Chain A
Amino acid sequence: MELANLYQSINLIIPEIVLSIALIVLVIADLIFHTNKKIIPFIAGTGILVTAIFVINQFNYIGFAFSTATHTARSFGMLAVDSFGVFFKLIVIVSSFIIVLLSLASDEIQKTTDRIGEYYALIYGMILGMFFMITATDLILIYLSLELLSLSSYVLAGFTKLRDRNSEASLKYLLYGAVSSGLMLFGISLVYGLTGSTNLYIINTLIQNPHINLFTLSFATILIFAGIGYKISSAPFHFWTPDVYEGAPITITAFLSVASKAAGFALLIRFVKTVFVSYETNEGFWSLIEVFDWQSILVVISILTMTLGNFSALWQNNLKRMLAYSSIAHAGYMLLGLVVLSNQGLIAILIYFMIYLLMNLGAFLVVMLIANKINSEEIDDYNGLGFTSPLLSVSLAIFLISLTGLPPTAGFIGKLYLFIALVDAKMIAVAIIALLNSVVSLYYYVRVLKHMYLVKATASTPSIIPSTSNAILLLVLVVPVLIFGVYFQPLVEFAKDCIVILGI
């Protein structure tokens, strides 16, 4: 590799470099200020904001970084910088910033003040892993970034060590994660054996060769999907989700359910688009190479995922666990956007993700504020809260209605665009199944509201009034959910700007 190439590549990974520097600054600051750790969260927050600036700067940039020019005349990089990647990086950055604020408000995390440096360092490890997952176009980098993300999240899932459930969550996450990343690595090795390359673009050209073994390729693809499916908690690989989400500290649960899932989706979409799509038609549909039928597989997986998620959520009495199942169901909805294999579907996924970020983090914030006070996430303990704590209850109601997908909240817009994309691709049956699933989900979301509003408050019902800063954070999440429900044009325009996936 020439030095000029290296300089240019480094320019393209400035956000990642800033993150790494911030991580090291955090570790050193943790050593220097070991008596007073109040400054650590501010360093963490500032680092994220600075990274955000560099990510936004990248917006109109497009190009490969770290190309290995030795294989072919045309060189493809190890990672691709494009607007699609910038979009998902922004999702990750925004949710990370909100998680830092959430951690400041969380009693659970504040109890472990002397380990707070490690907490933020590990969060930075997650962000770094997700950034590389979003941009990676090389199987080695994909695997490595996935491991970086997993390794940090295993520790964070059991971070507080206050209850046995924490360790259980951490261990379960580790075991499932080890199996699925082992499967993925095996799939990667098969793909390398078939094609002799780890670069997604080169693999794309090589698998168009008619001599390729379809069975081996499909087997390898399914194995690789096991690794990605585990990250987005899609159907056959979702078993860890409820236990981990319930046992992990609530800030980490919220982070896993939004950012980690976003990175997984970015990886899946880029993987499918770069490896298996030969060209885009004029109407924006992606034409698959005839080696692996992604469409049928994804239809089955997404329907399975949302149905399993929604029906299991019906019986849950713990709100955190219920939100875990609901996040599985949402992964199923979002997979529908990929099923149609078109730019329109991709726009729908992007819109959905922006809204999902707001409403899911919001719901977790309310659950956390209530848990801070009553030390419980059981739905029965929410009885009568609607009368004693109006701000929290109304916000939670808005978030839950939005998660169901009812107007006038933003969740409706997200689902609407998904369904439009499905109908345009003539997949009416799938759209109807998804619609029925939404109806099922209404039951368990509204059940929480029933407990809050239809059970009379007793003398022992606590009145929870959030501090001013928490109330502001809550409003920052709640108001957009309402505004985007009626004025959603900016979201759509932004999503349309962000569908450029660097192709050949």
Chain B
Amino acid sequence: MEFYDIIFYLFALITIGSAFVVVTSRNIVYAAFSLLFTFFGVAGIYVLLGADFLAIVQIMVYVGGILILLLFGVMLTNKITSVEIRTGTVHLLPAAIGIGILFGAIISVMLWTNWNISPEPIPPSTTANIGRELITNYVLIFELLGMLLLIALIGAASIARRDKE
């Protein structure tokens, strides 16, 4: 399994490195483009875990949809590319303590937990199963997601609309 490990660390490195650039970059276009690599890295990890459907969705929705929209937004907005984003730090000590505790907790969770491991082997493709589950056992979730999207659409229209003066 050596080879898989190398690929995993490669993708992990891409994800973390580009995420770091997203947060620290002062240029919003650079930040948006680094986000591309973050999403790509996460999609790679999904593939390694055997979650093929999730990986495709990650690429299609995040990279193909959200990121492109984000870039459009950035480029269509006047002068936003030259705006200096403030990336200063405030309240360094409390933040460091909080993050330290959270980091410690997550690391110890990662190291010392007996995760529940499913006895079944990973199926070669998950797409068909997910589809079947969504319209049988999880049909309520599926329908409710439809309502959620409708509400999101109404809300977006409401925010975007300009009030008549």
Show the binding face of A for B, using Cβ within 8 Å: 1, 6, 9, 13, 20, 23, 27, 65-66, 68, 70, 78-79, 112, 114-115, 118-119, 121-122, 125, 128, 132, 140-141, 144-145, 147-148, 151-152, 154-155, 158-159, 161, 190, 193-196, 206, 211, 213, 215-216, 219
Contacts and interface: CB of A to CB of B under 8 A. Distances in A.
A219 B159 contact: no
A6 B145 CA distance: 18
Nearest to A167: B159
B137 A115 contact: no
Interface of B: 105, 108-109, 112-116, 118, 136-141, 144-145, 147-148, 150-152, 154-155, 157-159, 161, 163-164
A125 B151 contact: yes
Given A20-B147, A152-B151, A122 B158 contact: yes
B136 A211 contact: no
A151 B149 CA distance: 10
Contact of B144 (A9, A115, A144, A190): A144
B112 A144 contact: no
Nearest to B109: A216
B116 A213 contact: no
Contacts of B152: 151
A1 B138 CA distance: 9
B108 A66 contact: no
B155 A122 contact: yes
B32 to A, nearest CB: 19
A23 B155 contact: no
Contacts, number: 99
Contact of B112 (A65, A118, A213): A213
Contacts of B151: 121-122, 125, 148, 151-152
B140 A78 contact: yes
B105 A118 contact: no
B112 A215 contact: yes
A151 B153 CA distance: 10
A174 to B, nearest CB: 11
Closest 8 A-B residue pairs measured CB to CB? A155-B155, A125-B151, A196-B116, A118-B158, A68-B137, A216-B113, A213-B113, A1-B136
A145 B163 CA distance: 30
A155 B158 contact: yes
A147 B148 contact: yes
A27 B149 CA distance: 14
B157 A118 contact: yes
Contacts of B155: 118, 122, 125, 151-152, 154-155
Given A9-B140, A125-B150, A155-B154, 6 more contacts: A79-B140, A144-B144, A193-B113, A193-B116, A194-B115, A213-B113
Contacts of A213: 109, 112-114
A78 B108 CA distance: 32
Contact of B148 (A78, A79, A119, A144): A144
B144 A145 contact: yes
Contacts of B105: 219
21 contacts: A1-B137, A9-B140, A79-B140, A115-B161, A122-B155, A125-B150, A125-B151, A132-B144, A141-B140, A144-B144, A145-B144, A154-B155, A155-B159, A194-B113, A195-B116, A196-B116, A211-B114, A215-B112, A216-B113, A219-B105, A219-B109
Nearest to A212: B114
B139 A6 contact: yes
A145 B116 CA distance: 26
B114 A158 contact: no
A23 B158 CA distance: 16
A147 B151 CA distance: 11
A193 B115 contact: yes
A215 B107 CA distance: 12
B113 A148 contact: no
A319 to B, nearest CB: 26
Contacts of A161: 163
Given A1-B137, A141-B141, A141-B144, A115 B116 contact: no
B158 A159 contact: yes
Contacts of B158: 115, 118-119, 122, 155, 159
Contacts of A112: 163
Contact of B154 (A114, A122, A132): A122
B34 to A, nearest CB: 20
Contacts of A211: 114
A457 B113 CA distance: 68
Given A68-B137, A118-B154, A194 B144 contact: no
B135 to A, nearest CB: 10
Residue among A6, A144, A154 with max Cβ neighbours from chain B (10 Å): A144
Contact of A148 (B112, B137, B144): B144
A6 B157 CA distance: 34
B147 A66 contact: no
Contacts of B109: 190, 213, 215-216, 219
Given A194-B115, A196-B118, A216-B113, A128 B147 contact: yes
Contact of B147 (A1, A9, A125, A216): A125
B99 to A, nearest CB: 13
A65 B158 CA distance: 34
A6 B139 CA distance: 9
Nearest to A126: B151
B13 to A, nearest CB: 22
Contact of A27 (B112, B154, B159): B154
Contacts of B139: 1, 6, 66
B163 A144 contact: no
Nearest to A213: B113
A144 B137 contact: no
Contacts of A128: 147
Nearest to A148: B148
